[in-house]
Amino acid sequence: MVEADPLALLNDHAHCELKAAAMGQSLIAKNPSFGSLIDSVPHVVLEEMQHFVQVNAELRKRGGELGVQEPSPYADGLHQGAAATRTSLVLDRLVLAHLIEARSLERFDLLANHLTDRSLAALYEELLPSEAAHRGLFRKLAREAYGDAAEARIETLGELESRLIAGLPFAHRVHSGISVR
């Protein structure tokens, strides 16, 4: 299971936080007239960078060093799959952010509850409220700008996301398939 290699998990997780911050910055830069997004997403970016600092500190405390992140079949599959039926890039970015936050939250909750390493579990426990708020915020922004089309897209891309994660092999990563052990 994922606990067998906490350094690999933490390295992958640290990169996920960086990507979340970069995604937020890109949303801000490309949607300067979307007032509620401009008001809220900078705070998400700051929180994701704070999470990066926490996760990287945990990695180093355990004798690890930040390395590169392996290519992510999860993220690549989501973006490629969404592009095939896309009507709005902004809507898809908001919906994918919502779905990725939701899946991260699910994984962090599992880690917080099941890791036997309680100090690592405590880190995941601490991150839960913030990621839950991000999940809700991106859904709210999508609904505000796109109405019912947002819910329809959440359903379509949610099915894609579920299929994708079910088909991935297990890895010591935040977004991998499940361990059979």
Q: Provide the binding-site residues for Fe ion, judged by CB under 5 A.
A: 17, 20, 48, 51, 101, 131, 134
The H or E element that residue 112 is part of is helix 89-114
Question: Which residue's CB is nearer to Fe ion, number 6 or number 24?
Answer: 24
The CA distance from 154 to 139, in Å, is 8
Residue (149 or 158) nearer to Fe ion, CB: 158
Spatial separation of the C-alpha atoms in residues 64 and 166, rounded to whole Å = 30
* Minimum CB–partner distance for residue 106 and Fe ion (Å): 13
Q: In the structure encoding, which two tokens stand for residue 130, read together?
A: 């913030």
Q: Tokens standing for 67?
A: 């390395």
Minimal distance, residue 89 CB to Fe ion, in Å:
20
Please state the closest distance from residue 158 (CB atom) to Fe ion, in A: 17
Instruction: Compare residues 134 and 153 and give the one whose CB is closer to Fe ion.
Output: 134
Give the 3-state DSSP-derived string for 142-156, with helices as H, strands as E and coil as C.
HHHHHCHHHHHHHHH
Q: 131 or 161, CB closer to Fe ion?
A: 131
Shortest reach from residue 50's CB to Fe ion, in Å: 8
Query: Do 21 and 45 meet the contact criterion of CB atoms below 8 Å apart?
Result: yes
